[in-house]
Amino acid sequence: MGLNVIALGGNAILDKIPTDEGQKGVVRKVASDIIEFIELGEQVVICHGNGPQVGNLLIQQKAGDSEKTPMMKLDSNVAMTEGSIGYWIQQAIQNELQKRNMHKNVVSVITQVEVDANDPSFETPTKPIGPFYTSEEAKRKMANGDGLYQEDSGRGYRKVIASPKPKRIIEKEAILSLVDAGIITICVGGGGIPVAKNALGEFEGVEAVIDKDLSANHLAKEINADRLIILTGVDNIYINYNQPNQKKLEKLTIGEAKQYIQEDQFPPGSMLPKVESAIDFVQESRKREAVITSIENLSNIVEGFGTRIVC
């Protein structure tokens, strides 16, 4: 039996129907696939994204923003969506276990991830998030010290924030205890709640988001997982994507993957961080592998499906 860290994207959950019931429907299908994978003798820790869910929550808060019901800071919004999506996954897995008469425990952990307060991304924030504002609204917010706003593809102005690298998973020991006890664990949702130490040495939330795949990779290394599985919208990754000479990739060495990165084969906003996380995970041990594939292919991974990155 291998220990697997599964990274599930927030966009995969918020696929077509943005209601909570619509997203729960997607999660129920994912839960079924995860349990089929567990039935093969595999152990899993589940991470998930929350980008579109945080964006929607910020838009909702903007609509009701007032002195008595002010918008929450970003770290609290990350925590709220980590909790709600974790709840959906937890409940769906519990129901699926019951259907199959399997006796396992499942739990969600609200996870904080420490970042460096001096991470270079804080100097040059680039990650757009949340609602759109007019030029005048954006200027007013910046004048009031509410961060940096930039024009986004002709649709208006959005806040741009830092995306620092994860340094340490605060709840690592608790997660390890759960894994050792054989409990299906959902954690590091949305890349984790970004926190940093203040002048007193205390943790406090920071205005940032952490890439989910980077945090999943960090977690997989911390708990010494055998496999990092990054679930996305396609069965395999490709080079020359959507071109006449498009080629499906089934197995990649680290050297081949790095070469394709140099050739700009992987888009920076989507596949590139997934491939970089996979490389970082496997290069420390020949026993590790990373797999990038679709949700539907999860139960076929043991048979060799998906794009595999090996040492």
Catalytic residues: 10-11, 127, 212, 274
**Angstrom distance (rounded) from CA 248 to CA 306:** 10
H or E element that contains 179:
helix 172-180
Phi-psi group of 224: left, alpha or beta (phi > 0 → left; psi -120 to 50 → alpha; rest → beta): left
Closest alpha carbon to 110 in 201, 197, 206, 175 = 175
**Angstrom distance (rounded) from CA 212 to CA 166:** 10
Contact call for residues 131 and 86 (beta carbons, < 8 A): no
Closest alpha carbon to 171 in 106, 219, 227 = 219
**Angstrom distance (rounded) from CA 182 to CA 106:** 9
Q: Based on the number of CB atoms within 10 Å of its own CB, is 159 exposed (0-12), middle (13-18) or buried (19 or more)?
A: buried
Closest alpha carbon to 215 in 175, 255, 261, 246 = 175
Closest alpha carbon to 103 in 177, 32, 183, 186 = 183
Contact call for residues 223 and 176 (beta carbons, < 8 A): yes
Contact call for residues 206 and 196 (beta carbons, < 8 A): yes
